[in-house]
Amino acid sequence: MTDSAHNVLVIGNDAATAAAIREALTQPGEDPLETIWVGNFSAAVGRLSEGGIDAILLDPFLPDSAGIDYAPRGRLLRV
């Protein structure tokens, strides 16, 4: 990660999907974008506690999560 990068946390248990997301989000000539992949919700909570995440892409149906209702209120942007 660099200080000028925008950091996107990708939370999902499929490495191939995470790689496809990384490729789709990485465009030459744009602001630096760093994708950080974690394979489960527990790892995501740990990584989020470190800070420095600008956006989150989440599979809400991971086996170790309680779905979308687990997200802290007021901290989740639904689009």
Q: What is the pTM of this model?
A: 0.72
> CA–CA separation, 36 vs 47, rounded Å?
9
> In residues, how long is the chain?
79
Q: What single string gives the DSSP state of each residue in 38-79? A: ESSHHHHHHHHHT----EEEE-TT-TTS-GGGGSPTTS----
Please give the share of the chain, as a percent, with pLDDT higher than 90.
33
pLDDT digits (tens, 9 = 90+) for 27-64: 777 677 889 999 988 898 899 999 999 999 988 777 77
List the domain boundaries for the chain: 6-62
